[in-house]
Structure 1
Amino acid sequence: MIDGYPLIPEELPAQFKAAMRRLAASVSIVVAKGDDGPVGIAATSITSLTADPPALLVCVNRTTSLHALLVPTAPLSINLLGRDQKMISAAFGGGAPREERFRIGEWVDGGNGLPSLAGAQANMECVIDAMLAYGTHSIVIARVLRARVSDGVDPLIYQDGGYL
C-alpha cells in the first residue's frame, strides 16, 4: 500500500486506456488568450458541473500549449463541435501548427475577447473559477457567462481513435 491505496497492478494503465477508448465523447475546442493571440486545443473531457451557477469541468493535460494560460479569472471560449467539423477537430488535436488552426473554420469575435466557432453546436464564454491539479492533468472549473446554442443537435463524437 502507498498512502493508504493498494499498489497499482502493472497491467492497469494499459487496461485503463483500453477501457477509455470505448467511452464515446463529444469533441470541443477550448480557447484561451495567449501572448501572441488565441491558443486552442481539441478536448473530449468536458462535462457540465452545475446549472446554478452555470459551470463546466474541463480537464487539460499539463503538457499542452494551452495549460500555461489557465489561471483563475482568465477567460475561456468553449466550442462544442458538430459532426461536420471533423477537420477543425483534427487541426486543433495536433494536425495543424498552432498559428494555422484558427484559419480552419469560421471564427468570430466573442464577447470575452476570444474567438468563437461559427456553426458549432454551442459556444460558451467562460471565466476560470478554480483549478485542481491531478496526475498529468488539471481540472478546470469554468463559470459560463454566455451561451449560444445552434438549432440542430448533431454533435461530433469521438471513440476508439475515430469519429462516429
Structure 2
Amino acid sequence: MAAFPTGVAVVTTFGLGAEPWGMTVSSLSSVSVDPPTLLVCLRDSSPTLDALVWNGSFTVNLLHHEARPAAELFSSGDPERFRQVVWERPLDVGGPHLVDDAHAAADCVVDHMHRIGTHVVVFGKVQRVVHRSGLQPLLYGMRTYASWPRSA
C-alpha cells in the first residue's frame, strides 16, 4: 500500500489513569455521513489501542503539512511524546487534541471493533469536529511525507 498516498493522522485517547496515549495512523477512512462515522486501523499490540478500548472514545487529529515531526514522534513509540507537543483535553469525549499539529480533530465514541490479522479496525461515531487552521494536509506515500500541491 506504499504506492497509495494518504493523509496522516494521530489517534489519541486517555488511559485508565487519565494519561494520554496516541499513535500515528494512515489507515483512516470516512465510513458514513449519517451517522458520521470514521474507521481507523490500530496495531493489536498497541498500548494506545488498550487505552482506547478502556476509554471507549478517541480523537482523530488530522495533521497539517508542517506537522511531520509530530507524525514521526507518534510513530516512534517515545514514551515522552506528549511532553514534546502542545495538546489540550476535549470537552467530554475523545482524546488529546494536538493544538499546533492538527488542522482538524474529530472526537469519536467507539461504535464497534473488528480484529483482523495484526490490527483492529475501530469504528467511531463522530461527536464533534474542531477545525484549527487552513493549513494544507500532511500526506504520506511511497515511504515519504509530502504536502498537498498549492495548484490543486
For structure 1, the residue ranges without an aligned partner over 5 or more in a row are 1-19
Amino acid at match of 1:51: V
**CA shift for structure 1 position 142:** 0.4
Note the C-alpha offset of 1:138.
0.8
> How many residues align structurally?
143
Are 2:1 and 1:23 aligned? no
1:106 to 86, 99, 106: 86
Residue 114 of structure 2 corresponds to residue 115 of structure 1: no
Shift of 1:60: 0.9
Match status 1:78 vs 2:60: yes
Partner amino acid, structure 1, of 2:3: R
Q: Secondary structure at the match of 1:89?
A: helix
1:32 maps onto 2:9 in alignment: no
Q: In proportion to residue count, which structure has more strand?
A: 2
Task: Give the greater-gyration-radius structure (CA).
Answer: 1
Structure 1 segments, 4+ long, off by >6 Å, are: none
- Give, as a single letter, the amino acid of the residue that structure 2 aligns with 1:150: R
* One-letter amino acid of the counterpart of residue 30, structure 2: S
For 2:81 and 2:53, locate their aligned partners in 1 and report how far apart those are by CA, in whole Å.
Answer: 23
User: Once superposed, what is the RMSD of the aligned Cα atoms?
Assistant: 1.8
Rounded Cα–Cα distance in structure 1 between residues aligned with 2:47 and 2:64: 24
Could you say if the C-alpha distance between residues 115 and 72 of structure 1 is closer, same or farther in structure 2, counting changes exceeding 3 Å?
A: closer
Q: Percent identity?
A: 32
User: Structure 2: any 5+ residue segments left out of the alignment?
Assistant: 147-152
Would the aligned equivalents of 2:11 and 2:60 in 1 still touch at CA under 8 Å? yes
**TM-score if structure 2 supplies the norm length?**
0.86
Partner of 1:55: 37
Compute the TM-score of the two structures, normalised by the length of structure 1: 0.80
* CA deviation vs aligned residue, 1:78-99 (integer Å, no higher than 9, x gap): 10000101111111001x522x
1:161 paired residue among 140, 143, 147: 143
Map Cα deviations across residues 1-48 of structure 1 (whole Å, 9 max, x no partner): xxxxxxxxxxxxxxxxxxx11111111010122234011000000110
